[in-house]
Structure 1
Amino acid sequence: MLPPKELAWDDFRLIKAIADRRALPAAATALGLNHSTVFRRLGQIEEALGVKLFERHRSGYVATPAGDEMAQLAERVDSDISAFALRLAGQDIKPAGG
């Protein structure tokens, strides 16, 4: 199992995309990736964490409690980043020292 610091923001985005769309092809399209890349990366993330993030059903991918928590964290971080960008857009920020 990899330590959590080995997780990248793209890993969180991938998990959120799968949780939101419940299907790898739709998540892949949303992320601009190939379906096989999303499948492989999901396996790598689950292996690194040592936990299943999704249950695979005929109706689609359903987040486990761990997957749901990771997707919710990604949503909060994404919202915070968007809010920060909007705040910056409303300010005249000049580089320090120049």
Structure 2
Amino acid sequence: MCRAPVFPPQAERMTICPRCTSNYNKEQQVSEAITTPHGKGRSLRPRVAAATLGISISTLWTWNRERVDFPKGIRLSPRCTVFNEDSLLQWRDSQAHKGE
């Protein structure tokens, strides 16, 4: 396992190269998930939503645009869209049942 260069201001934050370990990516995904109020699930940024479904970000946007049954993203601002984690997981499970 390689070690990323550590400089004094960042010594506590990153000591392992993000390209070499999956733990860094999991921690980063957890920090990018936003918990919605009243326990209605988490809102995921597109990169995390795509990783949850095991697809690329461009496929996520294509499905969001073209598939009628795909859960639509929620626009928080012109440059920020989130996806409801519960809706994505329900959709994924329903797709698995269609193949049976």
Alignment TM-score, normalising by the size of structure 1:
0.34
- Structure with the larger RCO, 1 or 2 (CA within 8 Å, 6+ apart): 1
**Structure with higher helix content:** 1
**Structure with higher strand content:** 2
